[in-house]
Amino acid sequence: MAGVACSEPEDPATERSAFTERDAGSGLVTCLRERPALLDEDFSILLAALEKFEQLTLDGHNLPSLVCVITGKGPLREYYSHLIHQKHFQHIQVCTPWLEAEDYPLLLGSADLGVCLHPSSSGLDLPMKVVDMFGCRLPVCAVNFKCLHELVKHEENGLVFEDSEELAAQLQMLFSNFPDPAGKLNQFRKNLRESQELRWDESWVQTVLPLVMDT
């Protein structure tokens, strides 16, 4: 990859990177016809975790087959699909459907677990994807960043991970003996339901009123 990125352009009037070419005169930037695919690191985390989960299943661990639905319509969609097919998973099926807006909450409500791979660039904003999942009472595994704990309560409504190894271990733990009524997935879902049933006025009495009374 470094060799491609540093290759010299045939025309000295152009500037070239591994992915694009810029005409020095006009400033026009175009994609190279033979450019390499740019694989998002977040997807790499999920793919590596799925590979580890597949191997655990092949090794005889009591784990279910997985259907993993990857949403979105980015420019690398076809590349992702091709890469997945090359893995020849036996116990994991990955789908990349096109979803209408009204179908997205139906998908979340039907799922057993959500995975959020989007960290905050600033460390201060919270992923709306997790908000959507929690709104459908869907527990999550989410990649960690600075203020994520304000939304995802580790071991309460989901789990937080740092890398693919940790995500794979969490998938193994959550789906062991699936479906298990006494398992963590059901407990997380119950906690989400109870937190949503706490009305605004009740939350104000519990959280704000004690602060007012102390002043």
Share above pLDDT 90 across residues of the chain, in percent, rounded to a whole number:
34
Lowest mean pLDDT among 13-17, 25-29, 69-73, 154-158: 13-17
In angstroms, the CA 27 to CA 157 distance is 50
- C-alpha to C-alpha distances, 167 to 142, 160, 200, nearest whole angstrom: 9, 8, 34
Residue predicted with more confidence, 73 or 174? 174
Question: What is the pLDDT at residue 162?
Answer: 94
Among 81, 79, 128, 76, residue whose Cα is nearest residue 104: 128
Does the global pTM surpass 0.75?
Answer: no
pLDDT tens digit string along 111-148?
999 999 877 666 566 788 888 999 899 999 999 988 88
- State the average pLDDT for the chain: 80
In angstroms, the CA 93 to CA 85 distance is 9
Among 37, 48, 39, 40, residue whose Cα is nearest residue 118: 40
In angstroms, the CA 56 to CA 168 distance is 9
pLDDT tens digit string along 56-90?
999 999 999 999 888 766 666 677 777 888 889 99
